[in-house]
Amino acid sequence: MDSKLERAIQLIEKGQHEEGLIQIEEVREKAGDEMKRTIAELYYELGLVDRALEIIEELMFRYPDHGELFAFAAECYSELGKEDDAIDMLTEIKKDDPVYVQAQLLLADIYQSQGLEEVAEQKLLSGEKAAPNEPILLYALGEFYLSRGEYQQSIPYFKKVMYEKKVVDEAGLNPFLQIAEAYGATGQFEDALINYRKGLEIGEDPNGLFGYGYTALQMGEFETSIKQLTRLKEIDPDYTTVYPFLAKAYRHQNQLKEALIVLEEGLRRDEYNEELYLEMAKAQFASSNVEAGKDYLQKVIAINPSNLTAVKELLLYFMDSEDYESVLDLLSFLEELGEYDPLFERYKGKALYEVNDLGNAIKAYANAVEEFGEDEEILEEAAFAYLEAGEKESGIKLLHKIIELNPERLDVKERVSHLSI
């Protein structure tokens, strides 16, 4: 590298940007084509993409058969938000050009960013056809299918490059963590854990630690889950997704004090995280702090009335407490907000039945039966409500439905027989 250019770089590194850039321009004025290419790369690294592009366009005019210049220009156009120009540059690169595969990778990135998934896939497959053993391209295909949720399709590509030096050492990519994610998503938890371990031996990664801890939690390996998620919390305490899952692992180990401490820490960092409030409610219930548990469920619903998990948990709490007025108040509140779930009709019917509003109870149960016509428990509740409301024929009809679903229900058969006398 030219000594004056080296001095210019040193000036920039020291914070003397203006003086350094002036010296780079002085070198550029007298530079040959090879040095100009070096200066273009330097400008690109410094974020002066427009200046880099100016030089590359000049070189492209003189060397129209050099595909690497077109690829560089495409990267510049892409950085400048001129994606159509980038695509034009990349499509100029011929199949026999050494940078053809790189061009397909860049095209795939651009098309995927535009939401043109099928076109992006075609570009990657075109690259694979030209260079079937290119590790970076195979990794890109695995990553593409992983990003689309096509986990089984991604796995073979990651398998091919797991031990490729070009991928792991040179590019700094970690196919073990990627294939672990794919295995976890397809329920192959043992394989997922093996690959999470291997991936994290290469280097600690927050998403890898989370995936490892979450997968271990799903498998009931709570100590492993706690270890991995605690490590994640230590290296990145602002990774707030970790807190409810770490607390859940502690809760399953009956370490409720530790669970509550983790949740309190999480809420200090993210006071609007409804998952934290939901897990806090479960931990409070497990600690026999019933009122506190109820309060946290109400906080979840205040943050997000659409959180049906919290709504159903609170409804169950009220039902178990035989607090039917609170059930009806909550359902009325949700109805005013436009929130609805077919299961609400069952809770509404049960609560109205218990407060002796039989007319409205059977209306709610009618809606519930329409949605859950094969749920024996709902059918039985509805049948009793109809019978008590004097709707004997409708009640018997529902009891017959239960017998159709489960001929072993002798108690229901006996009830029908008694009603038919």
Distance CA(324)–CA(319), nearest Å, equals 6
Q: Look up the pTM and report it.
A: 0.76
Q: What pLDDT is recorded for position 247?
A: 97
Q: What pLDDT is recorded for position 1?
A: 52
Q: What pLDDT is recorded for position 24?
A: 73
| Helix, strand, or coil (residue 190) | helix
Within a 10 A sphere around the Cβ of 231, how many other Cβ atoms? 17
Q: What pLDDT is recorded for position 80?
A: 87
Instruction: Provide the residue-wise pLDDT of the chain in tens; the chain has 421 residues.
Output: 567 777 777 777 777 777 777 777 777 777 787 888 888 888 888 888 888 888 888 888 888 888 888 888 888 888 888 989 889 888 888 888 888 888 999 999 899 998 899 999 999 999 999 888 899 999 999 999 999 999 999 999 999 999 988 888 888 899 999 999 999 999 999 999 999 999 999 999 999 999 999 999 999 999 999 999 999 999 999 999 999 999 999 999 999 999 999 999 999 999 999 999 999 999 999 999 999 999 999 999 999 999 999 999 999 999 999 999 999 999 999 999 899 999 999 999 999 999 999 999 999 999 999 999 899 999 999 999 999 999 999 999 999 999 999 999 899 898 888 887 6
CA distances from 351 to 342, 377, 392 (A): 15, 15, 21
Q: What pLDDT is recorded for position 380?
A: 93
DSSP string, 104-120: HHHHHHHHHHTT-HHHH
- Of 270, 277, 354, 267, whose CA–CA distance to 313 is shortest? 277
CA distances from 63 to 34, 70, 155, 309, 379 (A): 12, 10, 41, 63, 79
Distance CA(96)–CA(355), nearest Å, equals 80
Pull the structure tokens for residue 271.
């006071």
Pull the structure tokens for residue 101.
């595969």
**Please, are residues 206 and 218 in contact by the beta-carbon 8 Å criterion?**
no
Distance CA(273)–CA(6), nearest Å, equals 50
Query: In sequence order, which residues have a C-beta less than 8 Å from that of residue 247 and are 6 or more positions away?
Result: 259, 260, 262, 263, 266, 279, 280, 283
Place of tokens 């059918």: 379
CA distances from 77 to 43, 51, 74, 314, 401 (A): 14, 12, 5, 54, 67
Q: What pLDDT is recorded for position 237?
A: 95
Distance CA(145)–CA(154), nearest Å, equals 5
Pull the structure tokens for residue 131.
């260079």
Q: CATH number of the domain at 204-304, please?
A: 1.25.40.10
